[in-house]
Structure 1
Amino acid sequence: MASLSERVKNNPKLKKIVHWMIVPRHEARPRLWIKLFVNPFVHKRGKGSKIRRRTRIDVLPFNKFELGEYATIEDFSTINNGVGPVFIGNRTLIGMSNVIIGPVTLGNNIIIAQNVVMSGLNHSYQDVHLPISQQNVTTSEIRIEDDCWIAANVVITAGVTIGKHSVIAAGTVVTKDVPPFSIVAGNPGKIIKKYNGATNSWDRV
């Protein structure tokens, strides 16, 4: 016998009704009853984690949202898992006015400064006879590994992986994967330094 979730997914009319009950039409944020009575029992928050009061936590029950131990989401940030899960690791800081749209996985001990945008979502545009807002979306996970520093006003595009202990300079647009122990700057972002284990120094590329 099919589970309730399978029955909903396989019945377009029922799926539409359930979606309307969870999210108001033409909006991305969940209804208040979902925030108050569903999300606290579905999503995981680690010990000592903090979500400041002036945030938009637009998380829905049909995708995962996890906040690690002693992680913090600062004021004016938006977290959205509507099209993909969002995982935030232990002791990771999400600075003020960040926008994180899943699918996104952040490791441990990451510093994300102010006004950073990372979106695992892209809009299709190929059909010129249909408004872009009515076309399908595609997703590709963003991954940031442990110990990274993402400086202010950075944009990270869908599908990018940033390797461990890397630094993304302020204002950078990251469109390609970043190897571990790298410093990236510019638009589009390019590697300007890499750590040299033999000399224990950060060398220009």
Structure 2
Amino acid sequence: MSFVKRAVGRMVHRWWAYVREAAAVTPAATGAYRFRSLGEGVCISFPQGAIFGEQWIEIGPHTLVGERVSISAGMGPGVDLGPDSIVRIGGGCSIGRGSHIVGHQSIDIGDDVFTGPYVYITDQNHVYDDPETPIGRQWPRNRPVSIGSGSWIGTGAIILPGTRIGRQSVVAGGAVVRGEFPDHSVIAGVPAKVVRRHSPGLGWHSPSAIARTPLSPPHPAGRPAPLS
């Protein structure tokens, strides 16, 4: 019996490996033609999550999209969203399994951006303008999202509408991010804030280090520098 189980197990694993390879979305696959742009070497792994609005989605070359990742443009399939792309993922990116990228106006992810699993990125949020109307029935509000090239987004992070993250930045796992953040930032917390930055001359430092930096170097022999 153990021999039969091992043989069946090998067959199942080989079959599943074949299915995963055959069902992945690549530039050579039939499904690639639905996208506005799918660069060379792109792989959207099988099984895929919910993917719709492909003609408003661009993915740059050599980007890997993990299993069960949902990428959508618009509220649902079959809606005309205008002439411009809405979700743009750069080249050389890696989108972790189970993540969701939900675009309605503009989501721009730069080159070489890596995410952990289960990251949520959206440019739309509910509003609370009318306290008497159920929140889910109020018309949502959109604000563009931008993630700079070379950044890393940790596991379970949530990127909310209106967020602009600079280049080469890190978002800690579980952070809830809204607002604008400069290049070379480490962003953490709920709500997220900059906890470290990199600046020329200071290297990596806490944001308050700049305020503590003297405006002019001390005079030789410990005497105060003369006023100019």
Question: For residues 13-162 of structure 1, what are the structure 2 equivalents within 5 Å?
Answer: 40-60=33-53, 64-82=56-74, 85-102=86-103, 103-162=106-165
Change in Cα spacing, 1:126 to 1:77, as seen in structure 2 (3 Å) is: same
TM-score with structure 2 length normalisation?
Answer: 0.68
Q: Following TM superposition, by how much is the alpha carbon of 1:37 offset from its aligned partner in structure 2, in angstroms?
A: 8.3
Unaligned 5+ segments in structure 2 are 1-28, 76-80, 208-228
Distance 1:139 1:95 in 2: 24
Question: Aligned partners of 1:131, 1:154: CA distance in 2, in Å?
Answer: 27
Q: Considering only aligned residues, what root-mean-square deviation do their CA atoms show, in Å?
A: 2.1
Shift in Å, 1:131: 3.3
| Secondary structure of 2:101 counterpart | strand
Give the residue type in structure 1 aligned to 2:73. Answer: N
Offset of residue 57 of structure 1: 4.3
Offset at 1:76?
1.3
Give the corresponding residue for 1:203: 205
Instruction: Describe the SS at the equivalent of 2:136.
Output: helix
Residues 185/95 of structure 1: CA separation in 2 closer, same or farther (3 Å cut): same
Larger deviation, residues 75-84 vs 94-103: 75-84
Q: Give the superposition deviation at 1:127.
A: 3.0
Q: Which runs of 4+ in 1 moved over 4 A?
A: 36-39
- For residue 170 of structure 2, the aligned residue among 167, 183, 197 is 167
Identity of aligned residues (%): 26
- Which residue identity is paired with 1:92? C
**8 Å contact from structure 2 (residues 35, 58) kept in 1:** no
CA distance in 2, matches of 1:136, 1:190: 29
- Give the equivalent residue in structure 2 for 1:190: 193
Q: Specify the SS of the correspondent of 1:165.
A: coil
Q: Which residue of 2 aligns with 1:9?
A: none
State the SS of the aligned residue for 1:56: coil
Counterpart residue type for residue 89 of structure 1: G
SS in 1 for 2:33: helix
